[in-house]
Copies of this chain bind each other. A is one copy, B any other.
C-alpha cells in the first residue's frame, strides 16, 4: 500500500532541485540581468549540472519566466492588503501603502527583476517580460478597485490618473531604495506618498468629505 502519494510522481528530490535552480537563477538574474544570467553560472551556484537545469526547464527563456512567476507568487504572499476596516479613506489608503512598502522590503525580487526586464526592448521579447507586464496589470486593476471604492465620486479618467501616479510613485520609491539604499526611511516615504495620492484624488472629486486634515 503506497498510501500517502496520490499521484505517480515520486522519487525524492525533484522539486527541491527545481527550487535550488530557481533560487540560484533569481540571485544571478538580479545581479546581471537577462543576458548576464548564464546557465553555467546558475549551474555553479546551485551545484547541479547544466543538464539538470535543462531537464527541469525547456530553455533559458523558460527558466527566466519561471523565475519571474515564482518571485511574483512570493511577493503576492508577502502583501497582505488590509481588509475592509472601518477607518477613514485616508487611513485605509495609508494602510495599503504601508502593506505594499513592507512587501517590497520583504520580497523585492519580483519588482527588481521585472523592472530590469521591462526596461529592455529587444526585438524578440523574453517570456519573462510578458509575464511581468501581465501580472503587473493585474496589480494595477486591484489598486484601481481600491481607489474606486474609496472615492466613488471620481470619474474614470481621474481614477486612471490617480492610479498611474500611485504606481509610478511606488516604482520610483522602490528604485530609490534599490539604488541608494535606505537613505531615507522607506516606509515613511510610502506613507507620505499615500497621503499625497489621497489629497490629489480629493482635489479631483470635491464632493467627497474630507476627514481630519490637521491633527
Assembled-state Cα–Cα distance A173/B34 (Å): 24
Between A115, A165, A193, the greatest number of chain B beta carbons within 10 A of the residue's beta carbon is seen for: A165
The chain B residue sitting closest to A118, CB to CB, is B179
Count of chain A residues near B, Cβ 8 A: 42
Residue in B36, B167, B178, B184 whose beta carbon sits within 8 Å of that of A172 in the complex: B167
Work out how many copies of this chain go into the complex.
2
The chain B residue sitting closest to A184, CB to CB, is B164
Q: Which of A60-80 contact B (CB under 8 A)?
A: none
A92: interface (CB < 8 Å): no
- Residues of chain A touching chain B, judged by Cβ–Cβ distance below 8 Å, are 30-36, 112, 115-116, 118-123, 133, 160-161, 164-165, 167-173, 175-176, 178-179, 183-184, 188-189, 192-193, 195-196, 199-200
